[in-house]
Chain A
Amino acid sequence: MKSSKRLQLIVPIIAVLLGFVLGAIVITITGKSPGGMFLAMGRTLTGIDFTGRTGINLRYVGEFILQALPITLTGLAVAFAFRTGLFNIGAEGQLMVGSLAAVAVALMVKAPPVIHPIIGILAAMAAGALWASIPGLLKARFNVHEVVVSIMMNYTALHFVNWSLLQFGSVDRVKTPEFPPSATLKSEFLANLTNGSRLNWGIIPVILAVIIFWFVVEKTTFGYRLRAVGFNKDAARYAGMKVEQNIVLSMMISGAFAGLAGAVITLGTFNFGRVLPSFEGYGMDGIAVALVGGNHALGVFLSGLLFGMLKAAQPLMQSQGIPREIASIIQASIVLFVAMKLGIEAALEFFTRKNGNSRIVSRKMGGKK
Chain B
Amino acid sequence: MAYIIEMLHIVKTFPGIRANDDVTLQVEEGSIHALLGENGAGKSTLMSILFGLYQPDSGVIKVRGKEVKITDPNAANELGIGMVHQHFKLVHNFTVAENIVLGLEPKKGPLIDIASAEKRVAEISKRYGLEVDPKAKIEDITVGMQQRVEILKMLYRNADILIFDEPTAVLTPQEINELMEIMRRLTAEGKTVLLITHKLKEIKAVADVCTVLRRGRLVGTVPVKDATEAQLAEMMVGRAVSFSVNKKPAIPGEVLLEVQDLKVKNSKGLLGVKGVSLKVRRGEILGLCGIDGNGQTELVYALTGLAPVEGGKILLNGKDITHLPVKERLEAGLGHIPEDRHRHGLVLDFRLDENLVVHNFQKRPFSKLGVLDYNSIRANAERLIKEFDVRSGEGPATPSRSLSGGNQQKAIVAREIDRSPEVLIVAQPTRGLDVGAIEYIHQRIVEERDKGKAILLVSLELDEILDLSDRIAVIFNGEIVAEVDAAKTNENELGLYMAGSMRKAV
Measuring CB to CB, which residues of chain A are less than 8 angstroms from any residue of chain B? 1, 3, 219-224, 227-228, 231-232, 234-242, 355-357, 359, 361-362, 364-369
In the bound complex, do residue A232 and residue B348 qualify as a contact, i.e. CB atoms below 8 Å apart?
A: yes
Q: What are 10 A-B pairs with beta-carbon distances under 8 A? A: A1-B394, A220-B367, A221-B372, A232-B346, A235-B346, A240-B325, A241-B327, A365-B19, A365-B45, A368-B86
* Complex interface: chain B residues within 8 A of A236 (CB): 347
* Cβ contact within 8 Å between B372 and A240: no
B397 at the interface (CB under 8 A from A): yes
Q: How far is the CA of A231 from the CA of B338 in the complex (A)?
A: 18
* Chain B interface residue number, banded: 35 or more
The reply to whether B57 and A355 contact each other, CB–CB distance below 8 Å, is yes
Bound Cα distance from A240 to B45, whole angstroms: 37
Neighbouring A residues of B243 by C-beta, 8 Å: none
Collect the chain B residues with CB atoms within 8 Å of residue A235's CB.
343-347, 358
What residues of chain A lie closer than 8 Å to B306, measured between beta carbons?
A: 237-238
Q: Given A237-B306, A238-B344, are A356 and B326 neighbors across the interface (CB < 8 Å)?
A: no
Residue on A nearest B345 in the bound complex, by CB: A235
In this complex, what residue of A is CB-closest to B407? A369
Q: Does B405 sit at the interface, judged by CB under 8 A?
A: yes
From known contacts A231-B347, A232-B348, infer whether A357 and B57 are also in contact, taking CB-CB under 8 Å: yes
Asked if B388 CB lies within 8 Å of chain A CBs, one says no
Q: Is the CB of A1 within 8 A of B348?
A: no
When the two chains form their complex, are residues A366 and B399 in contact, meaning their CB atoms are under 8 A apart?
yes
Would B344 and A222 count as touching, CB distance under 8 A? no
B434 to chain A, nearest CB (A): 13
When the two chains form their complex, are residues A1 and B397 in contact, meaning their CB atoms are under 8 A apart?
A: yes
Nearest B residue (CB) for A359: B15
- Are A369 and B405 interface neighbours, CB within 8 A? yes
The B330-362 residues at the A interface (CB cut-off 8 A) are 330, 336, 338, 343-350, 354, 358-359, 361-362
Task: Name the CB-closest residue of B to A239.
Answer: B358
Which residues of A sit under 8 angstroms from B329, Cβ to Cβ? 240
* Given A221-B367, A235-B347, A369-B39, 7 further pairs, Cβ under 8 A: A221-B362, A224-B354, A228-B350, A235-B343, A355-B57, A361-B14, A366-B402
**B55 at interface by CB-CB < 8 Å:** yes
Residues of A within 8 Å of B336, CB to CB, are 238
* The residue from A3, A231, A366 contacting B350, defined by CB atoms under 8 A apart: A231
Known: A240-B326, A369-B404. A228 touches B370 (CB 8 A): no
* Residues on the A chain within 8 Å of B304, using CB: 238
Does B444 belong to the interface (CB within 8 Å)?
Answer: no
B403: chain A residues within 8 A (beta carbon):
369
* Nearest-Cβ distance from residue B57 to partner chain A, whole angstroms: 7
Q: Is the CB of B343 within 8 A of A234?
A: yes
Q: A44 → chain B, closest Cβ, in Å?
A: 37
Residue of B nearest to A235 (CB): B347
Contacting pair B346 A355 (CB below 8 A): no
CB distance from B33 to the nearest CB of A (A): 22
Residues of chain B within 8 A (CB-CB) of A221 are 361-362, 367, 370-372
